[in-house]
Structure 1
Amino acid sequence: MNISWLDDTVDVAGKVVLVRAGLNVPIQDGIVQNDFRIRKALPTLEFLRERGAKIVVIAHIGRERNETLEPVARALNEYIPTTFVQRETLDASALVAGEVVLVENMRTDVREIENDDVFAKEIAEIADLFVQDAFAVLHREHASIIGVPKYLPSYGGLLLREEINALTHAQSPKHPALFILGGAKFATKEPLIRKYLEAYDSVFVGGALANEFLAAQGVAVGVSVIEDGKVPADILENTKIAPVTDVVVASEGGGITKSIHEVALDEKIVDIGPDTMKELISTLPQYKSIVWNGPFGWYEGGYDKATVALAQALARTDAHIIIGGGDTVAIVQQEGLENEFDFVSTGGGAMLEFLLKGTLPGLEALSN
């Protein structure tokens, strides 16, 4: 990748700089519930402010066109003075050096998701320079990701550089190395599992992915979440994959631990069991590199004991640890462990795609 990076060689003084930031954060009742991504966006914005740029921040929030970034603007304003504006009323020529404005949700215009070239050009006309700092959405082929760099001198931001450096390191780890993958959708994650079975010494699969493995082994998984239980034999029999021996099934009392061979036809697996976790945690000190993405349990339903146990155990190890994924990071922050790891990625799907391919559509757009 031939990316130009934002640094002191880039003259931004007095110029309108368009920054694509990753500000898709959880909001409830108009209040930002977790400002992790907002805080991660600050170094690039502060860098530009200190050098006299006029900063126009664009981003998206949620999946619906009517969702607003106004609560994000209020949260960002707690760190740096920020004005919230509608794209239609933005007058970039009136901005002063060091000023920051956050423009309403890019996805309110359907042309953003459609990667409409005319829309990309309209956005680009606002500014003199473009800084891409939204790592978490660089796997999306949207106008503000793919289109805008065609029309402006473009640079990777400070956060983006940090993400790429950390995840490039993860592709060439110090050994022994452990790759931990939670979440769901085996079909989409199979290529990733294959790659890291080759590149790493051990792989642990949790979450709904583990249900797929159990079902493929002929183990009854009741009414648990699975796609089709078709895991290829060469993966299923790979000795690098640590086995799951017990699970937690849903109950009104907060979950019941069972052997994998005891799950009833009407029961739903919602977490990895304590014996499996004890075994996994006992192996952690042997590793020099660990990458983890995705929770182990039904996080939304309150089944997070295995994920919490892993986060706490990893915080006590000396390995080089990289973690990512929205739910994983939320639990790590809930436990006050965010600063205990070598790198915490803002990406979920983007992190996994980069780990698989070593690039992303948004990075290729910057390179071109």
Structure 2
Amino acid sequence: MFNLKSIPGNLSGKKVLLRVDFNMPSKREVGDDLRWANTLPTIKFLIRKKARIILISHLEKGGVHPSMKTVFDKIKRKIRNARFSSGLVGHKTSKEVNSLKPGQILMLENLRWNAGEKKNSPVFAKNLASLADIYINEAFSVSHRRHASIVGLPKYLPSYAGPLFKEEIKNLSLAFNPSNPFMLVVGGNKLATKIPLIKKFFKKADYIIVGGSLARSFIDSKGRGLKTSKILLPRDVTVRRKNRKIVIDTLQLKKEDIIYDLGPKSMKEIAELASKSRFILWNGPLGFVEGGYVSGTLSLIKALRMTKAKVIAGGGDTAAFLQSRRLGKGFHFISTAGGAMLDFLVRGTLPGIEALKK
């Protein structure tokens, strides 16, 4: 689709700057992280090719940027010949990189420790580029950001998209020409990011399911001008009253009620539509899964795994839920991207993709 260059076959002894997304929750074991699991084959490929691998990533928790050492301590149990550098650029880091032997790995410190990363500083990008011979972007999930490690590096090094990066593009692009009936399932709580997605596929989709706290926004605002018979709003929902969970019909919602999950009537209707569909795109849980309201999302997953439709699922919370529950089987593809998935589906490209085309 974008005619991105393939990684060269001869990488022996080459210093490869591999941009990954290891922005994983501190409490999650590395084996439970889908981004890590999907990136591991690329790392092993580069090891087999006897490349000298330099891993770069960011890590952010609630606006704070911890050391990548916390992530490294987890992944070093999974891969051999890996070392950690407390730096990003400079003489010390360059010396550590040059000491690498073929097949060895050096993980650098958190990219966001340098202000030049988010500012897309040419100086920072050049300094990073000076460490390596080639650059590979395997961080599709961050490629909606115009950061130095995403759009700056390709200006200074021969640059390529990694296998996972290409898989994300190939599979998400299926949504642009879907088989019908096409069902779009949108959950989560970020209304501002989901409305463009609904608008993008409004004409192509046969059914649009709205769940999560988005459902309340649609019920209250009439879908901001999008409310039609094509958009299926919940028939019943789970709320809390007097400190206990109850399921009520949507018509019984009070102004102060918060929708925590979808009810059984809603899920039965969604399952029936899923069984009729040939292509399904799902982004976002149907309930407040972090708080234990998982019934609606589990019912949806069961319905999606039973359908004969081609199912593409994604979003950071969706992928994490599927991975943590070991429920990923039966899906055609699970995207590990959050904002990048939404931006790609709405715009058809990303800054990180465009940078690799130049």
Alignment TM-score > 0.5, same fold: yes
Q: 2:357 aligned with 1:367, yes or no?
A: yes
Tell me the distance in 2 between the aligned counterparts of 1:309 and 1:123. 46
1:271 matched to which residue of 2? 261
Q: Which moved more, 1:184-193 or 1:320-329?
A: 184-193
1:31–1:71: 8 Å Cα contact kept in structure 2?
A: no
1:3 matched to which residue of 2? 4
1:31 deviates by 5.5
1:71 deviates by 2.8
1:272-351 superposed matches below 5 A? 272-351=262-341
1:54–1:99: 8 Å Cα contact kept in structure 2?
A: yes
1:153 deviates by 0.1
Tell me the distance in 1 between the aligned counterparts of 2:242 and 2:122. 52
Q: Which moved more, 1:56-65 or 1:353-362?
A: 56-65
Identify if the C-alpha distance between structure 1 residues 126 and 243 changes in structure 2 by more than 3 Å, giving closer, same or farther. same
1:322 deviates by 0.9
Tell me the distance in 1 between the aligned counterparts of 2:307 and 2:134. 43
Tell me the distance in 2 between the aligned counterparts of 1:169 and 1:266. 40
2:211–2:233: 8 Å Cα contact kept in structure 1?
A: no
Tell me the distance in 1 between the aligned counterparts of 2:242 and 2:305. 31
Q: Give 4+ residue runs of structure 1 displaced > 3 Å after superposition.
A: 30-34, 63-66, 251-254
Cα offsets for 1:58-95 (capped at 9, x unmatched): 00112445412223223322332222212254321111
Q: State the aligned residue count.
A: 350
1:95 matched to which residue of 2? 100
1:256 matched to which residue of 2? 246
Cα offsets for 1:156-177 (capped at 9, x unmatched): 0011011111111122112111
1:251 deviates by 4.6
Cα offsets for 1:342-362 (capped at 9, x unmatched): 111110111111111110011
Tell me the distance in 2 between the aligned counterparts of 1:84 and 1:255. 48
What amino acid is the match of 2:261?
D
Tell me the distance in 2 between the aligned counterparts of 1:154 and 1:52. 18
Q: 2:169 aligned with 1:164, yes or no?
A: yes
Tell me the distance in 1 between the aligned counterparts of 2:320 and 2:65. 25
1:47 matched to which residue of 2? 45
Counterpart of 1:355 (choices 340, 345, 349) is 345
1:139–1:353: 8 Å Cα contact kept in structure 2?
A: yes
1:123 matched to which residue of 2? 128
1:183–1:294: 8 Å Cα contact kept in structure 2?
A: yes
3-state secondary structure, aligned to 2:260: strand
3-state secondary structure, aligned to 1:269: coil
Tell me the distance in 1 between the aligned counterparts of 2:322 and 2:241. 25
2:196 matched to which residue of 1? 191
Structure 1 residue ranges without an equivalent (≥5): 218-230
2:22–2:59: 8 Å Cα contact kept in structure 1?
A: yes
1:253 deviates by 5.9
1:333 deviates by 2.3
Tell me the distance in 1 between the aligned counterparts of 2:142 and 2:32. 18
Q: Normalized against structure 1, the TM-score is what?
A: 0.90
2:83 matched to which residue of 1? 83
Tell me the distance in 1 between the aligned counterparts of 2:299 and 2:85. 43
1:59 matched to which residue of 2? 57
Identify if the C-alpha distance between structure 1 residues 153 and 345 changes in structure 2 by more than 3 Å, giving closer, same or farther. same
Q: Which moved more, 1:345-354 or 1:9-18?
A: 9-18
1:330 deviates by 2.3
Tell me the distance in 2 between the aligned counterparts of 1:98 and 1:332. 32
2:135–2:159: 8 Å Cα contact kept in structure 1?
A: yes
Q: Normalized against structure 2, the TM-score is what?
A: 0.93
What amino acid is the match of 2:5?
S
What amino acid is the match of 2:32?
N
1:26–1:32: 8 Å Cα contact kept in structure 2?
A: no
2:224 matched to which residue of 1? 232
Tell me the distance in 2 between the aligned counterparts of 1:259 and 1:346. 34
Tell me the distance in 1 between the aligned counterparts of 2:141 and 2:239. 32
3-state secondary structure, aligned to 2:231: coil
1:111 deviates by 1.5
Cα offsets for 1:170-203 (capped at 9, x unmatched): 2211211111111123333322211211122211
Tell me the distance in 1 between the aligned counterparts of 2:126 and 2:23. 23
Counterpart of 2:208 (choices 184, 203, 206) is 203
What amino acid is the match of 2:297?
T
1:33 deviates by 8.0
